C-alpha cells in the first residue's frame, strides 16, 4: 500500500481497538506490536507510547513519537510515501503515542548489508570498510537504487540521526519503506545514516523537483508537519530544504557527530 487508501487505515490506527501481541525487545524505547481492529479484520501495527520513551540528552523529553508523525506527514507532503501510515492515539494501552502500520519485511530483499570485500554485489555502493569481531575485513554496502536515493534525500531533509540498515524495509512487492524517525528533525545537524554511498554526488533532477515542490508547500507554515515540531525545528527544516536545493548534491559526513549509527543494524 502506498498513497491510495490511507484514510481508513489512519482512522483505524488512531481509534481502532488495540490488542497487544508483544514488545520488540531490540528497540531502545517501548515498541509494542499490536493488532488493530479494522472493518476488514485485524491488522498488525506498531504502537510507541510516549510513556515508554527513554530520555535523551540531545532531544526534548516526550517528543519522539511526535517526530514519527512529522516524518509521516512530510513523506506524504513530498509525494514519496516512504513512511508507513502513522497516526496519533490518545487512548493506547499505555497512554498517548504513535501507531504505525506494520510492514511485513521480505528478508531476502534487504537493500543494506555487511559483506566480505569480495562479496560486494555488482553495482552496489560501498559506505565503509571495517573488521568483524574476529578481525576479518567486512564492508558496509547498499544498493544503487533510485527508491533508496529517495530515502537518502528524505533523511537529509528530516535530519535523521538514526538511519540503520534495519530501518529500511523491503516488502513483498519490492517497495522500500523507511521506519523509525523518533530522532529526526533536530535543529542541529545530526545526520547519521548507512546510506552515504552517494555523498557529494548530484541529486537527480526529478528528486530535486520534488524537493522544490515541498519547499513551496511548506511555505511559512504547514500544519500537518509543523504541529509536531518546536519553532526552531520548523525553521531548521526549511533551512535544510533550501540548502539542498541550492547545493543540489547529497550531503557529505560532517565532523561534529558520528556519521554512521551504531549498531548499523
Phi then psi dihedrals of residue 118, to 5 deg: -80, -5
CA neighbours closer than 13 Å in the CB half-sphere of residue 232: 6
* Share above pLDDT 90 across residues of the chain, in percent, rounded to a whole number: 84
pLDDT at 65 over 90: yes
Cα 68 to Cα 48: distance, rounded to the nearest angstrom: 10
Burial class from Cβ neighbours inside 10 Å (0-12, 13-18, 19+) for residue 77 reads middle
In the three-class reduction of DSSP (H, G, I as helix; E, B as strand; rest coil), residue 166 is classed as helix
Q: What order of strands is seen across the sheet that includes strand 125-131?
A: 112-115, 137-142, 125-131
Cα 138 to Cα 81: distance, rounded to the nearest angstrom: 33
| Tens-place pLDDT, residues 146-187 | 999 999 999 999 999 999 999 999 998 989 999 999 999 999
pTM of the predicted structure, to 2 decimals: 0.94
Cα 95 to Cα 152: distance, rounded to the nearest angstrom: 33
On whether the CB atoms of residues 153 and 207 are closer than 8 A, the answer is: yes
On whether the CB atoms of residues 31 and 46 are closer than 8 A, the answer is: yes
| Tens-place pLDDT, residues 74-91 | 999 999 999 999 999 999
On whether the CB atoms of residues 71 and 181 are closer than 8 A, the answer is: yes
Alpha helical stretches, state H, the chain: 6-15, 64-78, 146-158, 205-218, 223-226, 231-247
Amino acid at each position: 500500500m502506498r498513497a491510495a487508501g490511507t484514510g481508513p487505515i489512519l482512522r483505524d490506527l488512531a481509534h481502532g481497538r488495540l490488542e497487544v501481541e508483544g514488545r520488540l525487545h531490540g528497540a531502545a524505547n517501548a515498541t509494542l506490536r499490536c493488532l488493530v481492529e479494522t472493518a476488514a479484520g485485524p491488522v498488525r501495527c506498531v504502537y510507541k507510547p510516549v510513556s515508554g520513551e527513554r530520555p535523551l540528552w540531545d532531544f526534548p523529553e516526550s517528543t519522539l513519537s511526535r517526530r514519527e508523525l512529522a516524518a509521516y506527514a512530510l513523506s506524504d507532503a513530498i509525494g514519496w510515501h516512504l513512511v508507513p501510515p502513522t497516526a496519533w492515539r490518545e487512548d493506547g494501552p499505555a497512554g498517548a503515542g504513535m501507531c504505525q502500520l506494520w510492514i511485513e519485511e521480505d528478508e531476502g530483499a534487504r537493500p543494506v548489508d555487511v559483506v566480505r570485500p569480495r562479496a560486494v554485489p555488482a553495482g552496489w555502493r560501498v559506505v565503509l570498510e571495517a573488521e568483524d569481531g574476529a578481525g576479518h575485513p567486512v564492508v558496509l554496502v547498499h544498493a544503487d537504487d533510485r527508491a533508496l536515493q529517495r530515502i537518502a534525500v528524505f533523511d537529509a531533509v528530516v535530519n535523521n540521526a538514526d538511519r540503520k540498515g534495519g530501518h529500511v524495509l523491503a516488502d513483498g512487492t519490492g517497495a522500500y519503506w523507511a521506519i523509525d524517525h523518533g530522532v529526526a528533525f533536530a535543529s542541529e545537524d545530526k545526520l547519521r545514516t548507512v546510506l552515504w554511498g552517494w555523498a557529494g554526488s548530484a541529486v537527480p533532477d526529478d528528486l530535486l523537483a520534488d524537493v522544490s515542490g515541498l519547499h513551496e508547500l511548506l511555505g511559512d507554515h504547514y500544519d500537518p508537519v509543523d504541529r509536531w515540531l518546536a519553532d526552531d525545528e520548523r525553521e531548521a527544516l526549511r533551512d535544510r530544504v533550501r540548502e539542498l536545493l541550492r547545493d543540489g548534491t547529497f550531503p557529505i559526513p560532517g565532523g561534529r557527530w558520528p556519521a554512521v549509527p551504531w549498531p548499523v543494524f
